[in-house]
């Protein structure tokens, strides 16, 4: 697959590490070997998976002569933080539209990503209620900016479109090269599954490279059937954009919804266990919304025998640890 045909900004300078987690694997006691792809170590203010997607999306914006980025997310959105951070890096303005997926949850004085929005100099924050048409809300901001002479570029939530998903097509190619260099074959891969671009890009990269490694997504928001369809759609759009004739068979997309709990971003006991377990065995910080719930899914599946004994399982750490600081009461119970 020729990714070089698409402009990018070069935010990803080198492969992120794949690390074996011996203490965590032992503590889990399921007879499997857990490895972690450390995309929490990507560049950007606080790191995280969206840097790979924004590498392509921001390049497209600049190629089109835009001077302002607009994007959306939840009130503690890691994607919004990273879009803002890379806008600052490029000398661009950035405007955010935040959805209160939990009514009354937006607090401009909150810690975590909310604090970082202010520190990084966000130009405006528009807060909208749960269920708002986010594309229309962002377009409304864009129309006002155009009227004032700006040239805005709208990036969808999570940068989860075909162009953004190329960042995780590239990541999958990176992983396959690292497996060869390390002499390690992974029997399974587990990824957080939210706005679908990361999961979809991994699937597209796996199909396009004949990787033949099963991928299990752990959903953090939507029902299983809805999430799997969203991932399948993004994956196939990415392959089409790349000019790849192959398409993803529907049965290759798995996104469990068993670990969402009461709702998106709302804590679960299993998430808290997963975050504490990784912190206290490997000194690795997960986040409470994505990687924490995804790891709680891996833990539960391992305990239930979902992975065969002796399997090498790779977990994709998508970052997001700055959001931990908005959840202090949850972890201090």
Query: Any idea which residues carry the catalytic annotation?
Result: 77
What are the percentages of helix, strand and coil residues in the chain, rounded to 5? 45, 15, 35
Contact between 49 and 174 under an 8 Å Cβ cutoff? The reply is no
Distance linking the first and last C-alpha atoms of the chain: 49
Contact between 4 and 42 under an 8 Å Cβ cutoff? The reply is no
Rounded distance between C-alpha atoms, residue 245 and residue 243, angstroms: 6
**Concatenated DSSP letters of 16-47:** PPEEE-HHHHHHHTSS-EEEEEEGGGSSSTT-
Look up residue 238 and give its two tokens.
């990415």
Cα 5 to Cα 2, 166, 176, 177, 243, distances in angstroms: 6, 11, 21, 20, 11
H or E element at residue 152: strand 152-154
């Amino acid at each position: 697959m020729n990714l070089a045909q698409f402009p990018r900004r070069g935010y990803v300078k080198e492969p992120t590490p794949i690390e074996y987690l011996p203490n965590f694997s032992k503590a889990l006691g399921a007879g499997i070997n857990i490895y972690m792809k450390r995309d929490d170590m990507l560049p950007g203010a606080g790191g995280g998976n969206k840097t790979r997607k924004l590498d392509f999306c921001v390049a497209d914006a600049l190629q089109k002569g835009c001077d302002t980025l607009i994007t959306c997310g939840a009130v503690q959105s890691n994607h919004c933080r990273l879009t803002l951070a890379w806008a600052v890096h490029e000398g661009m303005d950035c405007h955010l539209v935040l959805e209160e997926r939990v009514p009354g949850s937006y607090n401009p004085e909150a810690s975590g990503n909310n604090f970082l929005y202010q520190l990084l100099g966000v130009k405006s924050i528009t807060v909208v209620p749960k269920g708002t048409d986010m594309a229309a809300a962002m377009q409304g901001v864009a129309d006002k900016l155009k009227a004032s002479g700006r040239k805005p570029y709208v990036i969808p939530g999570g940068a989860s479109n075909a162009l953004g998903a190329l960042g995780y097509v590239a990541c999958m190619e990176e992983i396959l090269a690292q497996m060869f260099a390390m002499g390690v074959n992974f029997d399974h891969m587990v990824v957080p599954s939210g706005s679908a671009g990361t999961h979809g890009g991994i699937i597209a990269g796996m199909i396009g490279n004949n990787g033949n490694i099963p991928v299990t997504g752990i959903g953090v928001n939507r029902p299983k059937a809805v999430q799997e369809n969203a991932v399948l759609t993004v994956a196939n759009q990415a392959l089409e954009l790349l000019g790849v004739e192959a398409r993803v068979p529907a049965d290759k997309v798995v996104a469990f919804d068993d670990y969402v709990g009461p709702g998106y971003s709302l804590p679960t006991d299993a998430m808290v266990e997963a975050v504490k377990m990784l912190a206290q065995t490997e000194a690795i910080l997960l986040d409470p919304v994505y990687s924490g719930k995804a790891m709680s899914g891996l833990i539960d599946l391992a305990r239930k025998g979902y992975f065969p004994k002796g399997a090498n399982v790779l977990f994709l750490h998508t970052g997001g640890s700055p959001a931990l600081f908005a959840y202090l009461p949850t972890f201090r119970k």
